[in-house]
Structure 1
């Protein structure tokens, strides 16, 4: 994927196999979509607009384009970070920070069905070496089967804490926070609080998901004083990568529990299959039961009901 330098416009190429998911994601984020000639779509909302052409060329403009690229486009569509981290190479080895510290990451925020999970892991220098031996790396690079296997090894060897917010509780909390990033910050602060209490470690690294002050504010509300590092691609750190694995394992286990309870193959993500299964769920159990299995603020819900 290629980026051309331009102070006003970001230009790259997108794998057209991702076009449908890209479009659905933008709709869920509140973009208004249109279909000008020679495009797959054009999308616009306050502060940012983007156009995906039939050739695969994508342009992004607007005063909010940097945040859109940093927090959504690069991690979820491009899977490269040449815009926000121009010196980063995709094949860079995982960083090995051997100082004892806590790592935090989440899973499930983009999945309509299932819980939101935030996990924290604490490891010392020796523990970090063990994590490497276990095959710990960014959870997005690991199969579900191996996530569960490596997750068990992490739990057996490290201090950890998992905050699993099942859909019913998630919807209750979202109604209180009215903002996913503030809800995530609360979950991160809760995991940090528990691990600081268990380990007396105050060195914390998290994968940055929003403006820095959001998590800092959540920590202050808990009267937590830590040396917090917020980094994009923090999963390059082995302890954060271990946390990402535990968070993903908790999500997979929570989703499977819901599948068993309702005897439906609830899918990951927020795709056309999600809508199909969502409609089947409503036919079998009624729309009032949806809050037990899904995140009710997703625009996916509008397509189901």
Structure 2
């Protein structure tokens, strides 16, 4: 569970005194300090925002006036940047990451359009509404195709750090794209790693967003901005998968199941490792499974 509160300096000092022996490094310039104890992670931002995460988050936050009846962070949807990625769990296809900005004027439009987490929408619905969202909502999209993905995974990045870099970059670029009338009150990432892990990797990046970034689990079902990004990213991933299928001459499936193993084995037999390198993420276990199916050592 994630709880975000606005606390004064006295309340923050209380947290600092109580949890001082549980401090962990926080490399982000926006984080004042971080606390990690069994069942609880507390991130204190310079702005006064404090995020409580973990099974003990309600108990810890209740010391500062929080109750279940309070308005949830996700109830306030406007003036939000939200990011999501698609393709991370698919052997074939690239990795798409999108950041979207939702203002107060966008709320009714998005609800009328039926915006929801892309996992709850079929591909036909995704393809129908994604182009509408792309025209209406301010956003930034980045796609790393399999060739580039495999190249950077072998050198500077791993499966988590590459996502950190992409999420960080789309937020940075979207902030630059917004004008002076676009007020950003929060930046939400659909959490794919822990806040501490995110900070460890993002500290190595050259560009950094102006606004604080908060990682929240299942954010795509809580924030319209994240849902918009999930839909645009899904559409971008599907287009990439379709284009790669045409180029390689095989119908490439989404996901990482046995069907992917069989298609990969066929590609290996006809196109060799080069064919797989241009269509799939080679660090997946599917690669070795496909080699065995194809009789390649």
Whether TM exceeds 0.5 here: the answer is yes
Aligned residue in 1 for 2:231: 245
Residues 53-79 of structure 1 deviation map (CA, whole Å, 9 limit, x = unaligned): xxxxxxxxxxxxx9xxxxxxxxxxxxx
Q: Is the 8 A contact 1:94 1:237 kept in 2?
A: no
Whole-Å separation in 2 of the counterparts to 1:258 and 1:145: 19
Aligned residue in 2 for 1:119: 98
Q: Is the 8 A contact 1:115 1:167 kept in 2?
A: yes
Aligned residue in 1 for 2:262: 276
Whole-Å separation in 1 of the counterparts to 2:73 and 2:255: 26
Change over 3 Å in CA distance of 1:296–1:157 after alignment to 2: same
User: Which stretch has the larger CA shift, 212-221 or 161-170?
Assistant: 212-221
Unaligned runs of 5+ in 1: 1-65, 67-82, 87-92
Residues 157-183 of structure 1 deviation map (CA, whole Å, 9 limit, x = unaligned): 111111111000111121124421111
Unaligned runs of 5+ in 2: 1-38, 40-54, 59-71, 292-297
Which has the greater radius of gyration?
2
- Choose the corresponding residue for 1:163, options 121, 128, 142: 142
| Equivalent residue pairs, number | 220
Whole-Å separation in 1 of the counterparts to 2:213 and 2:103: 17
Q: Is the 8 A contact 1:119 1:246 kept in 2?
A: yes
Aligned residue in 1 for 2:213: 228
Residues 3-31 of structure 1 deviation map (CA, whole Å, 9 limit, x = unaligned): xxxxxxxxxxxxxxxxxxxxxxxxxxxxx
- Choose the corresponding residue for 2:195, options 191, 195, 212: 212
Whole-Å separation in 2 of the counterparts to 1:211 and 1:182: 12
Whole-Å separation in 1 of the counterparts to 2:74 and 2:109: 14
Q: Is the 8 A contact 1:101 1:122 kept in 2?
A: yes
**Normalization by structure 2: what TM-score?**
0.69
Whole-Å separation in 1 of the counterparts to 2:56 and 2:232: 27
User: 1:74-223 alignment to 2 at 5 Å?
Assistant: 95-199=74-178, 202=184, 203-220=186-203, 221=205, 222-223=207-208
* Residue 267 (structure 1) aligned with residue 246 (structure 2): no
User: 1:6-45 alignment to 2 at 5 Å?
Assistant: none
Whole-Å separation in 2 of the counterparts to 1:251 and 1:232: 21
Aligned residue in 2 for 1:9: none
How far residue 274 of structure 1 moved from its aligned partner, in angstroms, is: 0.6
How far residue 215 of structure 1 moved from its aligned partner, in angstroms, is: 3.2
Q: Is the 8 A contact 2:172 2:210 kept in 1?
A: no
Change over 3 Å in CA distance of 1:150–1:84 after alignment to 2: farther
